[in-house]
């Protein structure tokens, strides 16, 4: 049986665990700092129970796991590796699935190397909840192939892309330049169009020029992501910029996208908006509140 321990039990971990729940081939537990918080603990423990996950009150509980999946905010990735390393059992595979660049992954790998575990880095290549355990994940490291084979056998969707930590995250970070770049362009273009009174005409024009997508749906999707996860997306784009700069190239577009997404997220915060409002709800707020930020 594959024993999996999640470190961090947020949206992504809950979706993956929920998809794996009930399979006889997997035993699931999770460590999250919030389990120790009386205010946050009850709701989180209830979600864990629904996912068939046993909460761990101390990180030392990961010692029983064959595979440990780190799913925390990017800024905590290295610190989690430091905390986990002494508790990993001989031969256990620690998979860092956090949205950070290859340099941060390399630092985490060094920390895991101080213990008995083995480091594999991973890059989640799509939003997790719609796919749950089937979300596409790229992995790299000496035991990446073994990790992919083991987790795919219980229903996950991993692809080994190399033996060197950093290869998977490089792919994701560079891809983010395109994905978050489109998001930043929509923010700037639609905010400007709103102030000029031509929002719908702009979308009609883009639809004619690039007919392969429904651009109103695209706007709904990207701006909802800015609204819901803007801070996290800025962190990821900062990592993407650092990845590009580590390759000796200029990251001016990525840095600009960071600034634009951050300004839009701040503009939409505490305005009584909801994901369901779509671009028709988000764009007027951005146009009104971002005039000095864009």
* Cβ proximity of 260 and 294 under 8 Å: yes
Phi-psi region of 162 (alpha: psi -120 to 50; beta: other; left: phi over 0): left
Ranges of H-type helices in the chain: 11-20, 38-50, 77-84, 102-112, 128-131, 144-152, 167-196, 199-209, 215-246, 252-268, 278-289
What structural domains and CATH numbers belong to the chain?
A: 2-163 (3.40.50.720), 169-289 (1.10.1040.10)
Query: For residue 139, is pLDDT > 80?
Result: yes
The two tokens of residue 34 are 């919030």
Distance CA 46, CA 29 (A): 13
Closest CA to 84 of 102, 67, 101: 67
Average pLDDT over residues 248-269: 96
* Cβ proximity of 77 and 98 under 8 Å: yes
Indicate the pairing of strand 137-140 with strand 118-124.
Answer: antiparallel
* Cβ proximity of 116 and 100 under 8 Å: no
| Exposed / middle / buried, residue 3 (Cβ in 10 Å: 0-12, 13-18, 19+) | middle
pTM: 0.85
Distance CA 47, CA 69 (A): 18
pLDDT, tens digit, 9 for 90 and up, residues 5-19? 999 999 999 999 999
Report the greatest alpha carbon distance in the chain: 63
Distance CA 13, CA 260 (A): 29
pLDDT, tens digit, 9 for 90 and up, residues 99-123? 999 999 999 999 999 999 999 999 9
Mean pLDDT score of the chain: 94
| Exposed / middle / buried, residue 133 (Cβ in 10 Å: 0-12, 13-18, 19+) | buried
* Cβ proximity of 240 and 177 under 8 Å: yes
* Cβ proximity of 120 and 151 under 8 Å: no
The two tokens of residue 162 are 């190399």
Average pLDDT over residues 226-251: 94
3-state DSSP assignment of residue 248: coil
pLDDT bracket for residue 1 (50, 70, 90)? confident
Closest CA to 18 of 175, 135, 177: 135
Query: For residue 209, is pLDDT > 60?
Result: yes
pLDDT, tens digit, 9 for 90 and up, residues 69-109? 999 988 899 999 999 999 999 999 999 999 999 999 999 99
pLDDT bracket for residue 38 (50, 70, 90)? confident
Distance CA 7, CA 70 (A): 5
What's the pLDDT at 294? 47
């Amino acid at each position: 049986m594959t024993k999996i321990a999640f470190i961090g039990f947020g949206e992504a971990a809950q979706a993956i665990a929920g998809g794996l729940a009930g399979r006889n081939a997997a035993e699931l537990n999770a460590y999250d700092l919030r389990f120790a918080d009386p205010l946050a603990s009850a709701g989180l423990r209830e979600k864990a129970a629904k996912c068939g996950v046993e909460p761990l009150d101390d990180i030392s509980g990961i010692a029983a796991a064959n595979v440990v999946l780190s799913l925390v905010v990017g800024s905590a990735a290295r610190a989690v590796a430091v905390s986990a390393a002494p508790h990993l059992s001989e031969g256990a595979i620690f998979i860092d699935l956090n949205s950070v660049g290859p340099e941060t992954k390399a630092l985490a790998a060094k920390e895991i190397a101080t213990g008995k575990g083995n480091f594999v880095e991973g890059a989640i290549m799509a939003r997790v909840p719609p796919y749950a355990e089937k979300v596409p994940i790229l992995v790299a490291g000496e035991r990446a192939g073994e990790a992919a084979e083991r987790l795919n056998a219980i229903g996950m969707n991993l692809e080994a892309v190399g033996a060197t930590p950093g290869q998977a995250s490089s792919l994701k970070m560079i891809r983010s330049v395109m994905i978050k770049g489109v998001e930043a362009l929509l923010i700037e273009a639609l905010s400007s169009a709103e102030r000029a009174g031509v929002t719908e005409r702009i979308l009609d024009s883009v639809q004619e020029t690039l007919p392969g997508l429904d651009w109103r749906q695209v706007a709904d999707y990207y701006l909802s992501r800015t609204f819901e996860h803007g801070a996290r997306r800025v962190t990821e784009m900062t990592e993407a910029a650092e990845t590009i700069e580590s390759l000796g190239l200029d990251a001016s577009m990525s840095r600009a996208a960071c600034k634009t997404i951050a300004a839009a997220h701040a503009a939409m915060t505490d305005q009584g908006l909801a994901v369901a409002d779509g671009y028709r709800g988000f764009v007027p707020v951005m146009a009104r509140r971002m005039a000095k930020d864009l």
